[in-house]
Chain A
Amino acid sequence: MNPMTTTSSTSATTTDPAARQIGGGKVVEELQVSRFAPFRNTAITVVNLGIFFVIWEVVARAEVLNPLFFPRISATFEAMYTGFRDGVIAPQLGHSLSNLLIGLLISAAIGIPVGLFMGASRTADLILSPYVWAMTSLPRVALIPLLILMLGFGNGMQLTIIVLSAVFPIMVNCMAGVKTVDPSLLRAGRVFGAGRGQMYTKIILPFTLPFVISGINQGIARGLVGMLIGELLGGGGSGLGFLLDRAGDQFDAPMLYATLLILAVMSVALVQLMRWLERRVAPWRDVAA
């Protein structure tokens, strides 16, 4: 009657964590794998990007496209380098990043509790949901004229647009998390004597945690858009959006591309960070239940 499961890892780059942890009846076999195997994916990415940049450089030098909006990649990196050296980029990058982070913190501080409350209370959901859904669906750009009217061109307006962009996806996800708690887990909680408070701390909140994270993930994506439109259209004279705007006005294509590259790296890094966090927080969600 002993449970017997045999696990042999066949993949070169991954070992099955379950097999190692459980011990018990499982059998784990060591595999001979090249020392460089873990770096294979990184190597492929580097080579891939290298080829991409070389092709870019060749096409740009051939001047197939107008150099005014298609600069050489070498010029772009040069603009990035001088931008950082002369202190043109760093303060704007810092401004944008700190605005985004503060905005996200405020959004989380508002969105998580309100979302949880909406999930837990039918009445709260009924009262708040028309506003929440209207604000979730409304394109953020539409609010810019109103916000400028109310808050002027300062940092307050830029922050507000980030919060308005990020807070609703966070709220909606938290609400969905609470509402989709597996009913049989709730029944198990009742059978095994969990009181109202324990139901929240031991079942509902842990179940909702991955939803909170994916809410924040969406909040980051929306917040980035909010940040850029605030800086581009708000005319506040600061942030990466301002750099883009000014480079465009000055026909400074290398600087324009350099800023876009920085933005791309920034978004990818944030998204990857959240994905990593999601896996750490809810490892069971990767595996089919």
Chain B
Amino acid sequence: MAHTAAGAQLQIASHSGAEGGSGGGRSSVAPGPASDPVIVARSVTAGYENRRTKTRLIALRDVSLEIQRGEFLAIVGPSGCGKSTFINMVAGFVRPLEGTVEVDGQPVRGTGSDRAMVFQDYALLPWRTVERNVLFAMENRRNKPSKSEQAARVAEALSLVGLTGFEKAYPHELSGGMRQRVGIARALVTKPDILLMDEPFGAVDAMTREAMQAEFERIIAQTRQTVVFITHSIDEAVMLGDRVVVISNRPGTIKEVVDVDLPRPRLTGDAKGSLRFAELREHIWSLLQDEALGAQEAK
């Protein structure tokens, strides 16, 4: 089920979840093999220029990737492999040095209301209450809905993440897991097409993390967004992703794109105990093992 990348050029047009006809809610409604790519990266090289040392650090080299509408794409790789750079390009924070990144057929030029992001460090405004933090995602837009509509949407988003009753609390009064629920509610409140998640559960403790994953799977089954999810946890990538993109280090290139054919819902079911889960996990680990060891030697 796992196709191996032929060099760095790699185009995956098929969507395994739909073929597999797996029992999960979202994958059965995902568009069929007739591809409907919403994010397209074409031979993208990205990095950071340092004018003082007159060098440029290449974070990603020659990456090509198509992400289908409604797909949950997990990107996994060692620290510093350029996976954050990829999501930052899709968000519109950084531009590729070479190649193009397109969203809905248009090259990305800066941020847009069709894309929302969940940050590893939550990035909540500490001087705002929970509900005003969520409101922040709407109030800056030019064509924002009416005040009452905004309030209704905030209440809806907060109830979706289970934070009803915490509207007036400040972020510093909440635990890490609850803060990230606020971050998720803020990203969902505008109902964006694309949800970009940069290691969203990286800073919460292990138990909360599993609970948040299960809840997030449930939420996405309801809202059916396209999700790009960055993580350095192989388990998390396999548990959540329709496909897992494995990125190798220095500079980042796509090592393999692995289709995850586990039925959904996975976290409330017993996917984690299944043989297939163990196989996929083992396979991805074997791909990353050399990287991890290589990184050790490099240090």
**Chain A interface residues toward B at CB < 8 A:** 1-3, 5, 18, 21-25, 182, 184-185, 187-188, 190-195, 198, 202-203, 206, 282-284, 287, 289
Contacts and interface: CB of A to CB of B under 8 A. Distances in A.
A22 B172 contact: no
A3 to B, nearest CB: 6
Nearest to A285: B126
Contacts of A22: 165-166, 168-169, 173-174
A206 B125 contact: yes
Interface in B163-178: 165-166, 168-175, 177-178
A182 B249 CA distance: 28
B111 A284 contact: no
A192 B172 contact: no
Q: How large is the interface on B (under 10, 10 to 19, 20 to 34, 35 or more residues)?
A: 35 or more
Contacts of B91: 187, 191
19 contacts: A1-B214, A21-B173, A22-B169, A24-B165, A24-B169, A25-B165, A185-B123, A185-B125, A188-B119, A188-B124, A188-B125, A191-B111, A193-B141, A202-B125, A206-B125, A206-B127, A282-B126, A284-B126, A289-B172
Closest 4 CB pairs of A and B: A18-B173, A284-B126, A24-B165, A188-B123
Contact of B170 (A2, A23, A284): A284
Contact of B172 (A1, A185, A198, A287): A287
Contact of A182 (B92, B111, B123): B123
Contact of B116 (A18, A24, A192, A202): A192
A3 B126 contact: no
Nearest to B137: A192
A65 to B, nearest CB: 51
B162 A1 contact: yes
Nearest to A18: B173
Contact of B127 (A18, A188, A191, A284): A284
Contacts of A23: 165-166
Interface string B117-148: 10101011111000000001100110000000
Contacts of A18: 169-170, 173
A1 B140 contact: no
Contacts, number: 86
B140 A192 contact: yes
Nearest to B119: A184
B119 A194 contact: no
B140 A3 contact: no
Contacts of A202: 125, 136, 140
B133 to A, nearest CB: 9
A191 B173 contact: no
A152 to B, nearest CB: 47
Nearest to A288: B172
A23 B169 CA distance: 9
Contacts of B211: 1
Contact of A24 (B119, B141, B166, B172): B166
B125 A3 contact: no
Given A191-B91, A192-B137, 13 more contacts: A3-B175, A22-B173, A22-B174, A23-B165, A184-B121, A185-B123, A187-B91, A188-B124, A188-B136, A190-B93, A193-B141, A283-B170, A284-B127
